[in-house]
Structure 1
Amino acid sequence: MSIIDRPVRGSDSGRPIMALLDLLGRRWTLRVIWELRGGALSFRALQAACSGMSPSVLNQRLAELREAQIVEAGGDGYALSARGRELLELFGPLQRWSEDWARALRDG
């Protein structure tokens, strides 16, 4: 059963967006994706970049992200796949939106 076909927290709909949001909402998942934005990292380098993450949690997140085809393992360590890089690009509009939102909240 693929990550898309499994039930996710808070949704019985089976919609791919819910599976993605569930995956991205897991502790440390976004941090792993973010730390891989500059290129491949070994397990130890990735763990160091994600200060405070236990090796077992990092292993679990990497396994989930590999299954989801967002991260791939290679000779240089772990890196974002083509899909992972595409996902990272989609964070740009969300970043801009969040900055506008924060400004609006500050300005009242």
Structure 2
Amino acid sequence: MTRDNKPIAKYGDPVRGSQSGQPIMVLFDLLSRRWAMGILWNLADSPRTFRDLQHRCGSASPSVLNTRLKELRSVGLIENTAAGYALTATGRELFAHLEPLGDWAMEWVPKLRPE
């Protein structure tokens, strides 16, 4: 069984890179799963249908996309609305913290030297 098929960790559960299961490590474990960040990023500006998300996450298989959507719903970051999948208030709050990190990364990457 791959890491991506594991149940979502809870506070105190060991996760990859942390036996203590600290909340930040539980969050990083969830966000590091294939397409989790892509889904959050694609829902940041508006709700999206499954088909639209599948198009935007071109290389994601339908089963992986469906699994990730279920996981993100189970932890309250996204919800299924009449307009499609959307970030919840908690999901929007998380994205508000992630967006500056994305901006920082855009400045950081060009500074990396090729080895």
- Normalising by structure 1, we get a TM-score of 0.85
Moved over 4 A (4+): none
Conserved in 2, the CA contact under 8 Å of 1:3 and 1:67? no
Q: Percent identity at matched positions?
A: 48
Q: Distance in 2 between matches of 1:11 and 1:30?
A: 20
Root mean square deviation of aligned Cα: 2.0
> Residue 32 of structure 1 is aligned with which of 3, 17, 39?
39
Note closer, same or farther for the CA distance 1:55–1:102 as it changes in structure 2 (3 Å cut): closer
**Partner of residue 4 from structure 1, selected from 7, 10, 23:** 10
- More contact order relative to length (CA 8 Å, sep ≥ 6): 1
Q: Over residues 34-61 of structure 1, what are the superposed CA-to-partner deviations in whole Å (9 max), with x where a residue is unaligned?
A: 1111211111111111112111101100
Identify unmatched segments of 5+ residues in structure 2.
1-6
Change (3 A) 1:73 1:18: same
TM-score by length of 2: 0.80
Structure 1 or 2: larger helix share?
A: 1
Aligned residue-pair number: 106
